[in-house]
Amino acid sequence: MNTERTEYDAVLADPAGVAPREPMRVLVAGGAGYIGSVVTRLLIAEGHHVTVLDDLSTGHADAVPSGVELVRADIADAGTILARGGFDGVLHFAAKSLVGESVSDPAKYWRTNVCGTRALLDAVAEFSVPRLVFSSTAAVYGEPDAIPITEDAPTRPTNPYGASKLSVDMMLAGECAATGLGAVSLRYFNVAGAAWGAGERHGTETHLIPLALDAAAGRRGPLTIFGEDWPTPDGTPIRDYIHVADLARAHVLALGAATAGRHLICNLGSGQGFSVRQVLDAVTNVTGLDVPQQVGPRRAGDPARLIASHERARAELGWAPQQGLADMVRDAWDFAANLANR
Ligand code: UDP
């Protein structure tokens, strides 16, 4: 049995799924990574034609579903694919995304995230691709003045990763005005979970939920809580977690909503905050296992509280999150267990 197909059918059967629209031909840059591979699955389930471009520096070839063409190349070579013509859109996930690494090796972040994207945009313009959806991040905001964070909040990134993503958002604004491109920047909050057989497989894992699951399963040592002296009810930082399947739906909606000459920026979060301790409780509830843990010092650059306003995504894209923290933990748990049993 072709299980992948069955999973796609389940996506299509989901009445809360994205409404059917004309099939598009799209390039997914970074489609072998975590979020790109989930979005690729949804695009295919929705009937779109997908080509994946990925240099496999952090992605995995087997994360690309069978039947989808994978071109292993640098983002700067996107033109060789777009030159084939007929592309209706680009979804751009190809980036370096480790905050700590961006501090120790900023050049890598400017080169890949900014110069790489510039080359991609040159190809998009040269081959007249009409729309682009970009993976931006809540890291562009830095320490917020007010919660929930709207798209009009001040942008004061506290690390080169956030600065590189903000630079691309700014680049896109000019690009849309000058060339007629229709672009949407989606500013992700804390993405978690797995969907349709794809999930998080980072060589260097820094995210709370996969680390907590691994600690609970005994696949790694105790989880270190980065400080419990924060100005929050239980002393641990609060984040807005969003299920990767909800995030994927927003991308497909954004592709349809991209309008010539307009740059739209939308936050993607659930609008709800959970502390580190609440996440660890959710892990225990879902898995029935305690999370071995210790308390360490604060991590440099961590804000106390990040919660999205997603009112704009609701209004502009017709999007609303459908899954909660327990769904994310459960799906990430199942995915990690499958991976461990391979
Ligand atoms: N965190 C933690 N221990 C870890 C990893 C993360 O206490 O080993 C905390 C971190 O301080 C933050 C939250 O978990 O408050 C989410 O961190 P993550 O790295 O997953 O995402 P971020 O919010 O930094 O993008």
Indicate which CATH number applies to the domain containing 68: 3.40.50.720
Residue 155: inside a domain = yes
Q: Catalytic amino acids?
A: 161
Q: If you average pLDDT over residues 105-130, what whole number do you get?
A: 98
The reply to whether 224 falls in a domain is: no
Q: Which pLDDT score is estimated for 339? A: 86
Domain count, the chain: 1
Q: Whose CA is nearest to atom 7 of ligand 1?
A: 225
CA distances in angstroms from 122 to 76, 175, 296, listed in the order given: 9, 10, 45
pLDDT at res. 12: 47
From 135, 207, 209, mutation site for ligand 1 pocket: most ligand atoms within 8 A of C-beta: 207
**Domain-embedded: residue 328:** no
Give domain status of residue 83, yes or no: yes
**Rounded Cα gap, residues 4 and 335, in angstroms:** 14
Place of tokens 């491109």: 181
| 254 falls within a domain | yes
pLDDT > 90? residue 290: yes
Is the minimum distance from the CB of 211 to ligand 1 under 6 angstroms? yes
Query: Which pLDDT value is given to residue 202?
Result: 80
* 255 domain residue, yes or no: yes
Task: Average the pLDDT over 120-145 and give the result.
Answer: 97
Neighbours of 104 (CB within 10 A): 9
Domain of residue 145: give its range. Answer: 2-16+23-192+242-268
Q: Is the pLDDT score of 11 beyond 80? A: no
- 173 pLDDT higher than 80: yes
Q: Whose CA is nearest to atom 5 of ligand 1?
A: 208
Widest Cα–Cα separation across the chain:
55
* 301 — pLDDT class (breaks 50, 70, 90): confident
Residue 217: inside a domain, yes or no?
no
Query: Is 205 within a domain?
Result: no
